[in-house]
Amino acid sequence: MKYYIIAGERSGDMHAASLMKELKKQDPEASFRCWGGDMMQEAGGEMVRHYREMAFMGFLETAANTLKIVQFLRECKTDILKHKPDVVILVDYAGFNLRIAKFAKEQGLKVFYYISPKIWAWNQGRVQTIKKLVDRMFVILPFEEEFYRKFEYKVDYIGNPIVDTVRSHQASPDFIQRNRLNPKPIIAVLPGSRKQEIESILFIMLSVLPAFREYQFVVAAVSNLNQSYYENFNRDPNIKIVYDQTYDLLANSQAALVTSGTATLETALFDVPQVVCYTTSLISYWIGRAVIKVPYISLVNLIADKPLVTELIQNDLTGRNIIAELKKILFDKAFINKQKEGYQQIREKLGEANSGAKAAELMVKYLADPASAEVQA
């Protein structure tokens, strides 16, 4: 089978790469053409464009790059027509991928969606679009199955791939020595992987360092951004930067400051107390306030269905507030224990995953027997 896979960010690249490896086991003749990242390429994908070229974040930023996005869409459609895949597999990244889903459907191609776009958070009317355009939806959050059921759309819940990646990670025993970290306890700083979010958040996160001189702040950097870029933030000997080692960093950390996103769940699965930090442009924030339908921004709180971790958003993201919340997760034993008890409840909700293998098995089955893929409520 020929698979055309589109992921528009780092986490999607990781999950798609895992899926590709499992598809290869189920379908030894599988070939992959991709819009994604390094991990998908390493998994055997023939790369069309890297996600770093498409990493636009927020309403205002996306609008400012409309012409570039239109160009990418045109290029992607032309490439799909040229290569005639058996199925188009879309990974999250709703704004781009739903347009490609419409095009693929018009061309009579099978469309699978691996990792639902977060339409439950905003623009829930997109469910009707998905019902028309997507042959099978594979979801990774326990509440998503019920969400789609309310709209009479049956999806496949396959567990969360983050559970797999965290469980399978073997912490490097020489992480401290290899990165020349000092003996001080570590506060992990996870500012995201897009320049836009890093620039708006990282300076604020690191501004609290003088209040915690007995700790070292270690920033989780990504190699798809230039090393010189991160040096702008490295202005104190107690600030260290490590590249592409987020899991090893979390395995060695006492607490974490985390930008909202997949990283909040990863931090919870590593059992590290955290404070969630998020800010964006003022226009994007107010548009988000108007349309977002869920009470939390972090996956941890959404899965727990309660305010398990503190979320410092926009105007609340100040040095004073970060210091106050960081002290709680470093020194308040009752607060720490309550958060970790919540983490355990999240693990129980997510259960055993093996999600990539489950999705691959179902996808190959649906492609071999199209009737089995017909969606019924």
- 59-63, 70-74, 136-140, 353-357, range with the lowest pLDDT: 59-63
Question: Does residue 272 surpass a pLDDT of 90?
Answer: yes
Q: What is the pLDDT of residues 309-363, one digit of tens each?
A: 999 998 999 999 999 999 999 999 999 999 999 999 999 999 877 899 999 999 9
Ordered by start, the domain boundaries in the chain are: 2-159+354-373, 167-350
Contact 122, 288 (CB under 8 A): yes
Please state, in angstroms and rounded to a whole number, the distance separating the CA atoms of residues 19 and 22.
5
What percent of the chain has a predicted confidence (pLDDT) above 70? 92
Q: What are the backbone dihedrals phi and psi of residue 320, each rounded to the nearest 5 degrees, phi first?
A: -60, -45
Instruction: Say what the pLDDT of residue 312 is.
Output: 96
Tokens describing residue 82: 């040229």
User: Residue 336: its pLDDT value, please?
Assistant: 98
Calpha distance 91→112 (Å, rounded): 9
Output the pLDDT for position 67: 84
Predicted local distance difference test score (pLDDT) of residue 288: 55
pLDDT of residue 377 exceeding 60: no
Label residue 233 by pLDDT band (50, 70, 90). Answer: confident
- Residue 57 has a pLDDT of 54
Nearest to 193 by CA among 375, 27, 57, 22: 57
List, in sequence order, every residue forming a beta bridge with 3; answer none if it has no partner.
32, 87
**206-221 mean pLDDT:** 96
**pLDDT the model gives residue 294:** 67
What separation in angstroms does the CA of 133 have from each of 148, 153, 255, 272, 371? 15, 12, 43, 40, 16
Task: Look at 284 and 178; give whichever has higher pLDDT.
Answer: 178
Q: What is the mean pLDDT of residues 177-196?
A: 92
Model confidence at 226, in pLDDT bands (50, 70, 90)? confident
Which pLDDT band, with edges at 50, 70 and 90, does 38 fall under? very high
Distance of CA 245 to CAs 54, 129, 176, 258, Å?
A: 23, 38, 11, 15
2-159+354-373 and 167-350, same CATH topology: yes
pLDDT class of 56 with cuts at 50, 70, 90: low
Q: Taking Cα atoms as reference points, which of 246, 276, 244 lies closest to residue 186?
A: 246
Return the structure tokens found at 136. Answer: 């099978």
Lowest mean pLDDT among 102-116, 185-199, 250-264: 185-199
pLDDT at 83 over 90: yes
What pLDDT does 281 receive?
57
Q: Is the Cβ–Cβ distance between 220 and 242 less than 8 Å?
A: yes
Place of tokens 């979010």: 197
* Residue 94: predicted pLDDT: 87
Residue the block writes with tokens 């798609």: 16
Residues in the chain: 377
- Quick: pLDDT tens for 130-177: 999 999 999 999 899 999 999 999 999 999 999 988 999 999 999 999
Among 93-97, 203-207, 289-293, whose mean pLDDT is lowest?
289-293
Q: Convert the chain into a string of H (helix), E (strand) and C (coil).
A: CEEEEEECCHHHHHHHHHHHHHHHHHCCCCEEEEEECHHHHHCCEEEEEEHHHHCCCCHHHHHHCHHHHHHHHHHHHHHHHHHCCCEEEEECCHHHHHHHHHHHHHCCCEEEEECCCCCCCCCCCHHHHHHHHCCEEEECCHHHHHHHHCCCCCCEECCCHHHHHHHHCCCCCCHHHHCCCCCCCEEEEECCCCHHHHHHHHHHHHCCHHHHCCCEEEEEECCCCCHHHHHCCCCCCCEEEEECCHHHHHHCEEEEEEECCHHHHHHHHCCCCEEEEECCCHHHHHHHHHHCCCCCCCHHHHHHCCCCCEEEEHHHCCHHHHHHHHHHHHHCHHHHHHHHHHHHHHHHHHCCCCHHHHHHHHHHHHHHCHHHHCCCC
Which of the residue ranges 82-91, 116-125, 251-260 would you say has the lowest mean pLDDT?
A: 116-125
Does domain 167-350 fall under CATH 3.30.390.30? My reply is no
Q: Is the pLDDT reported for residue 59 higher than 60? A: no
Percent of the chain with pLDDT over 90: 72
The encoded tokens of residue 74 equal 């045109």
Measure the CA angle with vertex 127, ends 123 and 133; round to 5°. Answer: 125
Q: Residue 171 and residue 38: Cα distance in Å, rounded?
A: 21
Asked if residue 285 has pLDDT above 80, the reply is no
Largest CA distance in the chain: 63
What class does CATH assign to 2-159+354-373?
alpha beta
pLDDT at residue 66 in the model = 77
